[in-house]
């Protein structure tokens, strides 16, 4: 009974693998290392390097190992990149899902926990956003993930492959002991970019737009700690192992922070000046994304431990200040 974690060398995947190993689960990781780091993978997990679009690779993996559950992180996830190169996203994300489900079907593997996203909603009609709200993505990344959810739905109907889609909001933080964290090249996410400025690796932060219909004019996002997210994946996997039906859950803290608020929280945590300027809007950005996450709390029994954005920034800063150039593999 092994759990296969696809994309387990990435930011969220490595924290989830670490959590699963600490809970005594048998974990297999597969990752093509395009944006991930082998050193971030807990040593108790078995590692395979390969691409999920390579069916021969997947078939060998499912032949070699006794896989009962899949947790699927392996995808591209940068909103502005998807606006410039949508086909890259439909190929890796959406085609990757088809390749994976074909092999799961052939090997009779019936459980998949999937990294979905708040980007499936697009510009919300109401805040906080509920799982039943309309899904009209404003960028190809969100569209690729919504298509993946639909492909899983029909694979459940036809082949009985049960799924949990976890629509996460903005993920932040690092393992509090500072051993693993976020390391992307280049960084595009707000908190790691702000921390690169704090560390003197960038001159300034550019805030993308201050003319949105929000209190201070900058976008509002709901931040969730990566350690809480790791726990949610374990709970979702256990939910499927108990024989439950497929389901979709938001994962967020249900608190919104504007980009300006994140900047000032980072100034407090790091005690650095962090120069910033206002730039033009970034295409594809919805104005405000805040989760209603009571469904995950009620049905999965998820109880996030870290809903304070200062704690998320503090943990991210702890990793950053001890890994100035990330894991240093490149």
Ligand X SMILES: O=c1ccn([C@@H]2O[C@H](COP(=O)(O)OP(=O)(O)O[C@H]3O[C@H](CO)[C@@H](O)[C@H](O)[C@H]3O)[C@@H](O)[C@H]2O)c(=O)[nH]1
Ligand Y SMILES: NC(=O)c1ccc[n+]([C@@H]2O[C@H](COP(=O)([O-])OP(=O)(O)OC[C@H]3O[C@@H](n4cnc5c(N)ncnc54)[C@H](O)[C@@H]3O)[C@@H](O)[C@H]2O)c1
Q: Which residues are catalytic?
A: 141
Task: Tell me which residue of 175, 164, 170 sits closest to 244, measured CA to CA.
Answer: 164
Q: Which residues bind ligand Y (CB under 6 A)?
A: 7, 9-13, 31-36, 51-53, 73-75, 77, 92, 96, 115, 117, 168, 170-171
**219 is an interface residue for ligand X by CB under 6 A:** yes
**10 contacts which partner out of ligand X, ligand Y, none, CB within 5 to 8 A by kind?**
ligand Y
Kindly tell me which residue out of 97, 113, 240, 289 binds ligand X, with binding defined by CB under 6 A.
289
**293 is an interface residue for ligand X by CB under 6 A:** no
Establish how many alpha carbons lie within 13 A of residue 199's alpha carbon, considering only the half-sphere containing its beta carbon.
18
Whichever of 139 and 247 has its CB closer to ligand Y, that residue is 139
Kindly tell me which residue out of 27, 113, 119, 265 binds ligand X, with binding defined by CB under 6 A.
119
**74 contacts which partner out of ligand Y, ligand X, none, CB within 5 to 8 A by kind?**
ligand Y
**148 is an interface residue for ligand X by CB under 6 A:** no
Whichever of 44 and 307 has its CB closer to ligand X, that residue is 307
Asked whether the beta carbons of 209 and 283 are under 8 A apart, the reply is no
Burial of 148 (0-12, 13-18, 19+ CB in 10 A): buried
Letters for 248-287 (x = contact with ligand X by CB under 6 A, - = none) are -----------x----------------------x--x--
Asked whether the beta carbons of 327 and 273 are under 8 A apart, the reply is no
**33 contacts which partner out of ligand Y, ligand X, none, CB within 5 to 8 A by kind?**
ligand Y
In the bound complex, what is the minimum distance in angstroms from residue 14's beta carbon to ligand Y?
8
Of the chain, the end-to-end C-alpha distance in Å amounts to 34
Task: Tell me which residue of 61, 90, 60 sits closest to 76, measured CA to CA.
Answer: 90
In the bound complex, what is the minimum distance in angstroms from residue 176's beta carbon to ligand Y?
18
Question: Residues 6 or more apart from 38 whose CB is under 8 A from it?
Answer: 9, 31, 47, 49, 329
Asked whether the beta carbons of 12 and 230 are under 8 A apart, the reply is yes
**201 is an interface residue for ligand X by CB under 6 A:** no
**208 is an interface residue for ligand X by CB under 6 A:** yes
**221 is an interface residue for ligand X by CB under 6 A:** yes
Whichever of 22 and 264 has its CB closer to ligand X, that residue is 264
In the bound complex, what is the minimum distance in angstroms from residue 92's beta carbon to ligand Y?
5
Q: Is 258 helix (H, G, I), strand (E, B) or coil?
A: strand
Candidates 13-21, 206-214, 305-313, 319-327: pick the segment binding ligand X (CB under 6 A).
Answer: 206-214
Element (H, E) at 153: helix 140-159
Establish how many alpha carbons lie within 13 A of residue 149's alpha carbon, considering only the half-sphere containing its beta carbon.
24
Instruction: Return left, alpha or beta for 248; rule: phi > 0 is left, psi -120 to 50 is alpha, else beta.
Output: beta
Letters for 60-79 (x = contact with ligand X by CB under 6 A, - = none) are -----------------x-x
Angle at which helices 96-106 and 140-159 cross, to 10°: 20
Kindly tell me which residue out of 94, 170, 254, 288 binds ligand X, with binding defined by CB under 6 A.
170
Candidates 7-15, 32-40, 42-50, 116-124: pick the segment binding ligand X (CB under 6 A).
Answer: 116-124
Report d(CA 260, CA 315) in Å as an integer: 19
**190 contacts which partner out of ligand X, ligand Y, none, CB within 5 to 8 A by kind?**
ligand X
Burial of 144 (0-12, 13-18, 19+ CB in 10 A): buried
Task: Tell me the backbone φ, ψ of residue 269, rounded to 5 degrees.
Answer: -65, -45
Binding site for ligand X (CB under 6 A): 77, 79, 117-119, 169-170, 188-190, 193, 205-208, 219, 221, 259, 282, 285, 289
């Amino acid at each position: 009974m092994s759990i296969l974690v696809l994309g387990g060398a990435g930011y969220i995947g490595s924290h989830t693998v670490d959590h699963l190993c600490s809970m005594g689960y048998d974990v297999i990781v597969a990752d093509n290392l395009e944006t991930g780091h082998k050193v971030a993978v807990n040593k108790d997990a078995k590692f395979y390097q390969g691409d999920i679009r390579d069916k021969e690779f997947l078939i060998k993996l499912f032949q070699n190992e006794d896989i009962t559950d899949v947790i699927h992180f392996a995808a591209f996830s940068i909103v502005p990149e998807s606006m410039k190169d949508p086909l890259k996203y439909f190929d890796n994300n959406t085609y990757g899902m088809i390749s994976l489900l074909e092999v799961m079907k052939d090997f009779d593997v019936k459980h998949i926990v999937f990294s979905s996203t708040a980007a499936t909603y697009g510009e919300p009609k109401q805040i906080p956003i509920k799982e039943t709200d309309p899904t009209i993505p404003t960028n190809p990344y969100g569209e690729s993930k919504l298509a993946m959810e639909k492909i899983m739905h029909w694979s459940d109907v036809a082949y009985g492959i049960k799924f949990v889609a976890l629509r996460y909001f903005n993920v932040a933080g690092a393992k509090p002991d500072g051993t693993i964290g976020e390391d992307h090249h280049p960084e595009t996410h707000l908190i790691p970019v702000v921390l690169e400025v704090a560390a003197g690796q960038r001159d300034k932060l550019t805030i993308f737009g201050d003319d949105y219909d929000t209190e201070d004019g900058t976008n509002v996002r709901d931040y969730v700690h990566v350690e809480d997210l790791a726990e949610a994946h374990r709970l979702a996997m256990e939910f499927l192992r108990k024989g439950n039906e497929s389901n979709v859950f938001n994962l967020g803290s249900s608190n919104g922070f504007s980009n300006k608020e994140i900047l000032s929280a980072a100034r407090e945590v790091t005690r650095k000046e962090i120069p910033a300027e206002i730039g033009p809007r970034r295409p594809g950005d919805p104005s405000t994304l805040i989760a209603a996450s009571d469904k995950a709390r009620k049905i999965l029994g998820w109880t996030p431990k870290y809903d304070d954005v200062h704690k998320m920034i503090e943990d991210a800063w702890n990793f950053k200040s001890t890994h100035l150039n990330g894991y240093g593999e490149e």
